[in-house]
Amino acid sequence: MSIALLIEQLLNGLQLGVMLFLMAAGLTLIFGVMGLINLAHGSLYMIGAFACAIVATATGSFWIGLAASLAAAAAAGAIMEITVIRRLYERDHLDQVLATFALILIFSEGTRWLFGSFPLYLDIPPALQGAVPLPGGGQYQLYRLAIIGVGVAVAVGLYLLIARTRLGMRIRAGESDREMIAALGVDISTLYTVVFALGAALAGLAGALVGALQSVQVGMGEPVLILAFVVIVIGGIGSIKGALFGAVLVGVVDTMGRFLLPQALTLMLAPSQAALVGGALASMLIYIVMALILAFRPSGLFSAQS
């Protein structure tokens, strides 16, 4: 195994982590401010990917598609918040789980109804095709580097937004004391809608960026949703910093596990067996890591509450 390959795999893990961060940031923000578990977050990811694919195909420009994905996901998020989610803030987590589980069914079948059953086409923009050289003689795909860049930009942007702006101040106030913020005369329902739409837009952005790498199809949000939940639980629910850390941890552990476990097992087993067993272990690995972390830190690594 060469150093170049190792660096490439670390970057792959980082890129997967950054993508998960875009999903997890919205989830954790919504939970931190409104105390809501949103299982339908994966549907917003799907909406972003579909919007990008359709608009990019129609206009021939990935960038217009990307803008459309942000707009569509934010709009879908706002509508969802105003019509359904708003009624769930006072409910317990159980009702939230069921209501947003129902929303998944509605969004998935609704999308299929509107756009058909066949996967859609979306490719990376010409400007980002190609690869850049890595130290050690390897190379890395430009588009994936760009995703890492977007993730870092979003992380910095969110930090500035929350630490430096009025909206951020209200969000922080909303996290610590909900009655207080209403007493201060802030229009809490507008704030909630804005936060929800922001989280939705981030999910839509993730969907569009990833849609160019994967297949744009109904149900694409569900595997990512579960991973994003693993991320925010590891990081500590409500903590953006935790989400970033958790996302990179999950991304790197998952990628390196898939890469290294089967190789490590060849020391003990025949190659074919090692590939099988290693593959099986790798697919369970992040859940094992999560269980271990929660066993020792029951409210995640960077809990916002404590």
- Residues 103-162 close enough to bind other proteins by CB under 8 A: 103-106, 108-110, 112-113, 117-121, 123-124, 129-131, 139, 141, 143-144
Nearer to other proteins, 183 or 267 (CB): 267
Phi then psi dihedrals of residue 216, to 5 deg = -90, 100
Cα gap 290→283, rounded to integer Å: 13
Question: What binding mask, one character per residue, do residues 23-62 give for other proteins by CB under 8 A, x or -?
Answer: --------x-----x-------------------------
- The nearest distance, CB 218 to other proteins, in angstroms, is 6
Cα gap 212→121, rounded to integer Å: 8
Query: Coil, strand, or helix at residue 306?
Result: coil
Residue 97 near other proteins by CB under 8 A: yes
Cα gap 153→86, rounded to integer Å: 30
Question: What binding mask, one character per residue, do residues 232-271 give for other proteins by CB under 8 A, x or -?
Answer: -x---x-----------------x--xx--x--------x
**Of the candidate residues 49, 218, 243, 304, the single one contacting other proteins (CB under 8 A):** 218
Q: CA triplet 167, 168, 171: central angle to 5 degrees?
A: 90
Residue 228 near other proteins by CB under 8 A: no
Q: Which stretch, 6-14, 58-66, 67-75, 172-180, contacts other proteins (CB under 8 A)? A: 6-14
For residues 301 and 235, is the Cβ–Cβ distance under 8 A? yes
In Å, what is the CA distance from 262 to each residue of 13, 79, 195, 215, 281? 17, 46, 43, 27, 9
**Of the candidate residues 282, 301, 302, 304, the single one contacting other proteins (CB under 8 A):** 282
